[in-house]
Amino acid sequence: MIQVFLKEVNSFLNSLIAYIVLSVFLVGVGLLVWVFPETSVLEWGYADLETLFSFGPYVLLFLLPAITMRTFAEEKKGGTLELLYTRPLTDWQVILGKYFSSLFLLLLALIPTLLYYYSLSELGNPPGNIDTAAVAGSYLGLFLLGAVFAAIGMFASSLTENQIVSFLIALFLCFILYSGFSSLATIDVLSARGYVVQQLGILYHYNALSKGLIDSRNVIYFLSVIVLMLMLTKLVLSSRKW
């Protein structure tokens, strides 16, 4: 598994798309937090990172499918997936090695944004006047959200040899799971069970974590979706051997 992890990380960091994707994420988030008047914390005068955690999920919605679209699609197209299985590796070792490499790249994207937290903490009146608990909960939620998107992206990549198709499938599934259920809950037919429908989607659980209250039920929800997507990926890969 470690060999697969290192191979995936090296492969991604040696490609141009890695730096394009990470740069787009950091520049996009930076513009939203500091520059655009409608969202800039400097314009609103509040020392919080609500802009990052409100718009960050939509940026990750594109970022993670872009990172994971090649995980299996490229291997299938190049015929190297079968070669990979000639090594003494199980399906789960391959899947987890690739998945953890995606999480590592997600961390590479999120860690630089901690500078925003430090900057806002210093800009507070008095300095340090920032809700650290809410920020910590929001970062946990953002990471778990990205982890779910990565698992969905890997599942989508296992379905096809075309990276663009993989990206589009992952983008669609991530969007539906993130905000689709919240939208369904507003439909009159489902309004009576709107609360239950909302809980099926990511947005409900992400918003709960963003308040700084780390409820185990929300964490379990994210972990359950991740496990489900990885199991579906395993099922797709196993079907190729039949």
Q: What is the pLDDT of residues 8-32, one digit of tens each?
A: 888 878 877 778 878 888 888 888 7
Neighbours of 66 (CB within 10 A): 20
pLDDT at 194 over 70: no
Mean pLDDT of the chain: 82
- Answer for the pair 130, 46: CB distance below 8 angstroms, yes or no: no
Report the distance separating Cα 21 and Cα 5, nearest Å.
19
Cβ-count burial 101-128 (b if 16+ within 10 Å, e if not): bbbebbebbbeebeebbeebeeeeeeee
CA distances from 60 to 55, 143, 192 (A): 9, 10, 32
pLDDT at 147 over 70: yes
Q: Which tokens is 106 given?
A: 């997600």
**pTM metric for this prediction:** 0.88
Alpha-carbon torsion 66, 68, 71, 77, what sign? negative
Q: Which tokens is 15 given?
A: 């490609």
- Answer for the pair 170, 156: CB distance below 8 angstroms, yes or no: yes
Whether the link from the prior residue into 126 is cis, omega within 30° of 0, is yes
Neighbours of 183 (CB within 10 A): 13
Q: What is the pLDDT of residues 49-107, one digit of tens each?
A: 777 888 889 889 998 998 898 888 877 776 666 666 666 778 888 899 999 999 998 99
Helix boundaries (H) for 49-89: 50-68, 73-78, 80-84
- Answer for the pair 212, 137: CB distance below 8 angstroms, yes or no: yes
